[in-house]
Amino acid sequence: MLVFFLRRLLIALPTIILISVFVFSLQKLLPGDPLLVLAGEERDPEMMEFLREKYRLNDPIIVQYFTWLGNAAQGDLGISLRTNQPVTELMLQKLPVTIQLATMSMIFALLIGVPAGILSAVKKGTVTDYIANVIALSGLSIPNFWLGIMLILLVSVKWQLLPASGYVPLSEDVWLSLRTMLMPAFVLGTALAATLMRHTRSSMLGVLNADYVRTARAKGLSERTVILKHSFRNALTPIVTLTALLFGELVAGAVLTEQIFTIPGFGKLVVDAVFNRDYAVVQGVVLVTAVGFIVMNLIADMLYFVLNPRLRVS
């Protein structure tokens, strides 16, 4: 297993380097000068030069890149030009919010999408299959912002069951925190559930007619055992990949949903940073998000190793 992991890690490291080059280069291509905001309305030349020296903007590009990369490797992602706070500190403030939203959304997606996909595959060609496909198509077609607004109008304004917006940390009030996150998590989860349902159905259809499944039925095993133990386990590989990628996408930040429900997560942080030309924050969020995607893929690879005995033999 260690050799398998090291191989994947050796592939991941060059990818991270390329991403860091792209992230650093991207902010150099963006229009505008963030120092104009810091210099004030007078924009004194001496102040501008002082700020350029302070943030080492007069250094050659290659020197700036390696300085930034070396600091990033040590956990120093720079200083926010707008708030004068360390970017790492800002991100650590937002990370628990994003992790909570992503986790709750993923729970909704898995609880809805995977069982629906299994049922649709087992009942292929029946009314159940058609209904599941219609629901999945609806989940993919309905915009998150529209569903979020409708839920606020019905659940919060009309029925007054859940808070319309805001965020309460788990450390302050667990129950209230879960209630404030329930609607945004459901909005994101239903869209992901539709994707998971379609992939689960496709993967299950690929194994239901396999020889080992027919053998399991011929042995007299119950249909429940055949479906869950023999079919579903062998259909898990693409589902695990998709789940890891979707979770990484959620951690990256669901911008529209966070804006609608006023959730102070990664999405809102990067939107505010872009509008304020706070390039250090943009760089930090994009880099951490990209590394998060790679880590999720590594975790998926490890799960492959556990789920697929053939990898342990090779």
- Residue ranges and CATH numbers for the domains of the chain are 94-286 (1.10.3720.10)
Q: What is the pLDDT of residue 39?
A: 61
Q: What is the pLDDT of residue 286?
A: 82
Q: What is the pLDDT of residue 35?
A: 66
Q: Tens digits of per-residue pLDDT, 209-238?
A: 888 888 888 888 888 888 888 888 888 878
Type of residue found at 205: L
Phi-psi region of 262 (alpha: psi -120 to 50; beta: other; left: phi over 0): left
- The burial of 174, by beta-carbon neighbours within 10 Å (0-12 exposed, 13-18 middle, 19 or more buried), is given as exposed
Q: What is the pLDDT of residue 110?
A: 92
Helix axes 266-275, 87-122, angle to 10 degrees: 130
- The burial of 251, by beta-carbon neighbours within 10 Å (0-12 exposed, 13-18 middle, 19 or more buried), is given as buried
pTM: 0.80
Per-residue pLDDT in tens (0 to 9) along the chain, 314 residues: 677 677 777 888 888 888 888 888 876 666 666 666 666 566 677 777 777 777 777 778 888 888 888 888 888 888 887 778 888 888 888 888 888 988 999 999 999 899 999 999 988 888 988 888 888 888 778 888 888 889 999 998 889 888 888 888 888 889 999 999 999 999 988 888 888 998 899 889 888 888 888 888 888 888 888 888 888 888 887 888 788 878 877 876 677 788 788 888 887 788 888 777 777 888 888 888 888 888 887 887 777 777 666 655 55
**What span, in angstroms and rounded, lies between the C-alpha atoms of 175 and 130?**
37
Q: What is the pLDDT of residue 107?
A: 93
**What span, in angstroms and rounded, lies between the C-alpha atoms of 239 and 307?**
12
User: Using an 8 Å Cβ cutoff, are 97 and 296 in contact?
Assistant: no
